[in-house]
Amino acid sequence: MAEMQNVGTDVGQLRQDIASIKGDLGTLMTTLKDLGVEQGKQLYSRAQDAGDAVRGQAVQTQEQVGHYIESRPISSVLMAFGTGFAIGTLVGSRSYH
């Protein structure tokens, strides 16, 4: 009879331990989720900053090209023609058999 009480006590303790482990796992999962969300926010912020920097450089380059074209219209037309001719020659020279 004493052994049955010991088994009952052990089973009760085992249930408490399992409940405690479940609680700890829930806390751990919540913590990991929060960390993942925070890291995701940081990555998103970095990506936005990089995008803003690239956008700023593109606008600046566009303005510089515009000023160059305004100050040297003939050179700009000749460069555009030369570039188009070179690309057309490279693309057109491929033979398709």
53-91 per-position pLDDT tens digit:
999 999 999 999 899 889 998 998 999 999 999 999 888
| 96 pLDDT tier (thresholds 50, 70, 90) | low
Residue 81 vs residues 25, 30, 33, 72, 74: alpha-carbon distances, Å: 68, 62, 57, 14, 11
Give the tokens for residue 79.
Answer: 């460069």
pLDDT by residue (tens digit) across 22-62?
998 989 898 888 888 888 888 889 999 999 999 999 999 99
- Banded model confidence at residue 95, pLDDT cuts 50, 70, 90: low
Task: Give the type of residue at 29.
Answer: M
H-type alpha helices, the chain: 2-71, 73-92
Q: Contact, 58 vs 65, CB < 8 A? A: no
